[in-house]
Amino acid sequence: MKPVSLLRNLWMVALLGIAGGLYSVSIESKEVVSQKMAAPLKNIEHLMKQGKIAQANAALKEVQTIPNPSAYEKNIIEHLRIALAIKQNNLDAAFTGYDELINSTRTSASEKIQIRMAQASLAYRARQYVKAIEYIKQYFLVGGTNTHMKTLLIQSYFLNNNYKEAMTAQQKQIDEEIKNGQVPAESQWQIMANCQEKLGDQDGLRHSYTQLAMHYPKAEYWGHIMAALSSSRDLSSSVKLEILNLRFNMNLMRTSEEYMEMAEVAMQANMPHFALKILAAGYGKGLLGTDHNSTRVMRLRKFIRDKINENKSALPAKLEAFEKAPNGDDMLMLGYDQVMDGKGQSGLLLMKEALKKTLKDSNEALLHYAMAQLQVNQKNQSIQNLKSIQAQGVIKEIADLWLIKLQTKT
């Protein structure tokens, strides 16, 4: 995260507002600089414009020896001292000078806001993030409202490795924008994702990448989502298959290993026709059947075909058993696999009957049913079923991701 333009703008506004605008005060104010001070102060200004910082610094020290300066003149001298400290990269002196101005009765409320902005911006620029955080907090306490300072606070937290604080502050900003009917910027969700990755918050990470994919669709965001979903623990083979199925339909599978893995997971979920379909897709991409993997692919292909033949022989007995069984999970997956074999009508009918029975996870079953509907071009019905999935967790996230894909205009 390198908000160079933001930082430069904030820093210049603050610096010019406090140091560069010194001499406009004498025009607008009834107070004036005395004769003994006018020429020396003008000389310091001239030397600074010429970049003669050492001479300007020496001249300022001479000015400070002039007796009995007015309160107004002391104020101008303090501003110049701060400006010179900044020019010499003596930030501690600049911060101290700014604090003295803050405590001065001559400093207006609006000037205090500019001062705190200047301190925060200078601290951030110097990578003094702890100070930047403190000054930004004080900026808001004295009445600052610049939303860019919220961003600077979040970035300061992040760069100081305060990931939890950065995430909390960023979430607050996102919530405020959503409440106001705005779409949070891409960079805000990126910061959330960065924090969640650092904190090991996998659920939050998936959510952030889902928001990025929804509002700023890019292949890299979908890739991150798939990786995050796949890293979820204790997933059944049938749920893993749906994650890989989403990856397959997003055209994110690039290697022979990915096709082989998906076919193997399909077999673990007792869906040999699905496995065969994936192998066929891998062949179509030119990724399978090459010299380096041909033996393994042939072995897997034979195993799949043997399983299909075995299931075909046992089908009548299975159907009879499924009708009597109170549990519908195996019946559902059989119907799903029939749909993958091109038997859409009978497969969906079997799945529909299975949905009436006791199920291990009714939301997962509904997800499988919605995916089967997509295979037979029942897109609208599939969308309605995906929307009806309510349980939180991986199943809901897969359903939401499919809704993003199906409802995104291309």
Pair 102, 112: CB distance under 8 Å: yes
Give the integer Cα–Cα distance in Å for 99 and 18. 13
| Residue 247 resides in a domain | yes
- Give me the pLDDT at residue 269, please: 96
- Give me the pLDDT at residue 256, please: 92
- Measured N-to-C along each axis, helices 294-324 and 256-268 cross at an angle, to the nearest 10 degrees, of 30
Give the integer Cα–Cα distance in Å for 336 and 352. 10
Residue 23 has pLDDT above 80, yes or no: no
| Residue 315 resides in a domain | yes
| Residue 133 resides in a domain | no
- Whether 359 and 241 share a structural domain: yes
- Whether 106 and 248 share a structural domain: no
- Whether 242 and 380 share a structural domain: yes
| Residue 196 resides in a domain | no
Which domain does 29 fall in, by range?
Answer: 4-127
- Give me the pLDDT at residue 292, please: 72
Structure confidence by residue, pLDDT tens digits, 89-109 = 888 989 999 998 888 888 889
The mean per-residue pLDDT over the stretch 209-232 comes to 86
The mean per-residue pLDDT over the stretch 283-312 comes to 89
- Whether 241 and 119 share a structural domain: no
- Give me the pLDDT at residue 233, please: 77
| Residue 246 resides in a domain | yes
- Whether 120 and 262 share a structural domain: no
Say which CATH number the domain at 41 has. Answer: 1.25.40
Long-range contacts, stretch 86-90, CB < 8 angstroms, 24+ apart: 86/15, 86/19, 86/122, 87/48, 87/53, 88/53, 88/57
Residue where a domain terminates, one of 88, 111, 127: 127
- Whether 396 and 249 share a structural domain: yes
Structure confidence by residue, pLDDT tens digits, 298-352 = 999 999 999 999 999 999 999 999 989 999 999 999 999 999 999 999 999 999 9
Residue where a domain terminates, one of 127, 151, 184: 127
| Residue 178 resides in a domain | no
Judge residue 133's burial from the number of C-beta atoms within 10 Å of its C-beta, 0-12 exposed, 13-18 middle, 19 or more buried.
buried
Tell whether pTM > 0.75.
no
- Give me the pLDDT at residue 289, please: 78
Residue where a domain terminates, one of 110, 127, 144: 127
| Residue 325 resides in a domain | yes
Instruction: Say how many domains are in the chain.
Output: 2
Calculate Rg over the CA atoms of the chain: 33
| Residue 360 resides in a domain | yes
The mean per-residue pLDDT over the stretch 207-225 comes to 88
